[in-house]
Structure 1
Amino acid sequence: MIQASIPFLLFNDDCEQALAYYVEIFNAEIIEKMTFEDVGYTEDRQRNNCIANSTFKLGNNLFYAGDAVEKGDLQTVSKNSRISFWLELDSLEEIAVLESNLISTGSVSLVALHKTFWESHYAKVQDRFGIVWELNVQN
């Protein structure tokens, strides 16, 4: 039986920057972070500080993140993939500020904040690392 579903975000040698960005933008809490050097991956010493695995929290939700072990792994992956992360927020003010902060720091608005047919306010943003975030607040 499946006990949990935890997304793993894969980066191309910029996981450390992405984690710092998520702390700044989402007030994420970094729970654990290990570099390639920490876990004994020493095939490419120039990449010792790349993130092998990390765990962070957004609200009550866990996410894993790390850099691809093989640099070419992400070349065939589209940055605008079929996966996005839906975040339920507490207020219209919170969603507006979050959307603004994302866009002002290099993210791209895919769907601008608007009132929806499902009686919410919603926005969709692709962050500067290629991760798509769907922001929603129930009215």
Structure 2
Amino acid sequence: MYVQPYVFFNGRCQEALDYYTDKLGAQVTFKMLYKEAPPDAHNPPRPELADKIMHASIRQGSTVWMASDGTCDPAGGSMNGFSLSLTADDAPSAEKYFNALADGGHVMFPFQPTFWSKGFGMVVDRFGLSWMVGVPEDA
């Protein structure tokens, strides 16, 4: 058994995927728009969702996570209550990823050496997703 994060971007999923692909080397391995889903007479999608992402799978290093635009609810709040933890192979790579995520975001804990890591930082990116970026203790 394993657990995978599933992140809802409330209408900004394609923008987020483009950003993570460019800045973090993520690979979108599957993407389906709402208009590409089989018809469901009992649950028809709202027309304004047609070109939004219903489901995507993303490979980032050895991890696969999933994403969606969700329901694109204008009253939907920001993401909270969790963080994605990105573990890089070395401190320079971790700092590069941290800085990319901090661009347009909000640094919660600056990237720096800590007692448990040669480099660690916490940031909320421009999409409201919280990240903990670090290096393994033995790297």
Shared fold, TM over 0.5: yes
Q: Matches of residues 61-80 of structure 1 in structure 2 within 5 Å?
A: 61-69=63-71, 71=73, 75=76, 77-79=77-79
Q: What is the CA-CA distance between 1:40 and the residue it aligns to?
A: 4.3
RMSD: 1.8
Q: What amino acid does structure 2 have at the position aligned with 1:71?
A: D
Q: Distance in 1 between matches of 2:64 and 2:99?
A: 24
Measured in 2, the distance between the counterparts of 1:115 and 1:128 equals 24
Q: How many residues align?
A: 133
Structure 2 gaps, min length 5: none
Alpha-carbon separation, structure 1, partners of 2:117 and 2:61: 23
Aligned partner of 2:111 in structure 1 is 113
In structure 2, how many angstroms separate the alpha carbons of the residues matched to 1:70 and 1:93?
36
Partner Cα distance (1:8, 1:112) in 2: 26
Distance 1:70 1:108, change over 3 A: closer
Q: Does 1:128 align with 2:126?
A: yes
Report what 1:54 is aligned to: 56
- Hey, what's the Cα distance between the residues in 1 that align with 2:128 and 2:20? 13
Query: TM-score when scaled to structure 2?
Result: 0.86
Which shifted more, 40-49 or 116-125? 40-49
* Greater percentage in strand: 1
Q: 1:137–1:111: structure 2 CA closer, same or farther, 3 Å change rule?
A: same
Cross-structure match for 2:26: 28
Q: Quote the residue 2:15 is aligned against.
A: 17
Shift of 1:38: 0.6
In the other structure, the counterpart of 2:99 is: 100
TM-superposed deviation, 1:103: 2.3
Cα shift readout 1:58-85 (whole Å, capped 9, x = no counterpart)? 101010100113625x62x443x12101
Distance change >3 Å, CA 132–CA 53, structure 1 → 2: same
CA distance in structure 2 between the aligned counterparts of 1:61 and 1:123, rounded to whole angstroms: 20
Percent identity over the alignment is 23
- With normalisation by structure 1, the TM-score equals 0.86
